[in-house]
Amino acid sequence: MPELPEVETTIRGIKDTLLNQKIIRLKISNPNLRWPVPETINDICNHHIKAISRRAKYILIKLSNEQHLIIHLGMSGNLRLEKTDQQHKKHDHAEFLLQNDFILKFNDPRRFGCILLTDNPQQHRLIANLGLEPFSKKFTGAYLKQQAKSRSIKVKTFIMDHKVVVGVGNIYASESLFLSAINPNTAANKISLKRYQNLAQAIVKVLEKSINAGGTTLKDFHGNQGKAGYFQQQLEVYDRQNQACHRCNGKIKKTIIAQRASYYCPNCQHW
DNA sequence: AACGAATCCTGTGCGC
DNA sequence: TGCGCACAGGATTCGT
């Protein structure tokens, strides 16, 4: 569920409350996430939160003992802040009690998310080999074209490959291909530089737009301040099969690509 | 090296 | 109303 805009929205929402706070206590109700929550997590108690940042969809929390929490929300996870008088909810797997009487709660029904601890996030196996951030200067059409050189996979699968570019999930992959008028079934190495320039711009644009709208709310995601994301109202193709294309009025089609639902307008997306 | 498929897990919504 | 099934925003891991 959470794609990059949801992760970014989450970070922006919790940052001010977490910064410089001391972690008093933690409660791990269920350590069986994507990978087990390490037992050494208790080491972070009595240390302060020094910084919060994002790499791909990983939330990085730097602590005063020079360790870093790596948190991923998986498909169904979310982080929320509550005062100590709020009750424990189902699937609240981890709770971090802060000195200011807030509790940071990690809730994740499907448990595809993770909470890990590391001394050096840049060298962590989950992070070290990631591709470019979509908002980095280096992320250009030329970069995509070069990366696609020996790739025969469909372009939609290609832009969801985190070794190429991070943060493009299933919703925004369909949306950015619509914006750049590229058919999601096209082989990555058959696309021109010009079209990749359009695609790179479209990816940045669609992600920025969604962050500004507070993310997309489908089923599970709620802005952590109790605010829903509104990007859903701006979706052009995702989950709109058989509905009219906003551009040509033709019928939006649904197809499965690499076992993921994909949506496009056959009339507008030729290549 | 690159690709497709399987996999982890719970909740929801649909057809019957 | 209840049951069974298909499917869901991710991304690693495995077999070819």
DSSP track, A169-185 = -HHHHHHHHHHTT--TT
Smallest CA–C1' distance to B3, residue: A153
What is the total residue count of chain A? 271
Q: Give the mean pLDDT of chain A.
A: 93
- Over the stretch A211-256, which tens digit does the pLDDT of each residue have? 988 776 544 444 444 445 667 778 999 999 999 999 999 999 999 9
Is residue A25 over pLDDT 70?
A: yes
Bases on strand C under 7 Å from any protein CB? 7-12
Confidence category of residue A1, pLDDT binned at 50, 70, 90: low
- Among residues A34, A111, A254, A260, the one annotated as catalytic is A260
Query: What pLDDT is stored for residue A221 in this prediction?
Result: 46
Average pLDDT, integer, range A123-127: 97
Bases on strand B under 7 Å from any protein CB? 1-13
Q: Phi-psi region for residue A4, left (φ > 0), alpha (ψ -120 to 50) or beta?
A: alpha
How many C-alpha atoms does A254 have within 13 Å on its Cβ side? 11
Told to judge if A57 belongs to the known catalytic residues of this protein, a careful annotator would answer yes
Told to judge if A151 belongs to the known catalytic residues of this protein, a careful annotator would answer no
Q: Is the CB of A72 under 7 A from strand C?
A: yes
- Over the stretch A131-190, which tens digit does the pLDDT of each residue have? 999 999 999 999 999 999 999 999 999 999 999 999 999 999 999 999 999 999 999 999
Least confident of A62-76, A216-230, A257-271: A216-230
Measured CA A51 to C1' C15 distance, in angstroms: 41
Q: Is the CB of A220 under 7 A from strand C?
A: yes
Cβ–Cβ under 8 Å, residues A200 and A141? yes
Told to judge if A109 belongs to the known catalytic residues of this protein, a careful annotator would answer no
Instruction: Express as a percent the part of chain A with pLDDT over 70.
Output: 94
User: Please, which residues have CB within 8 angstroms of residue A182's CB and are 6 or more apart in sequence?
Assistant: A155, A191, A195, A198, A199, A269, A271
Query: What pLDDT is stored for residue A227 in this prediction?
Result: 45
Q: How far apart are CA A13 and CA A104, in angstroms?
A: 12
Cβ–Cβ under 8 Å, residues A56 and A2? no
Told to judge if A260 belongs to the known catalytic residues of this protein, a careful annotator would answer yes
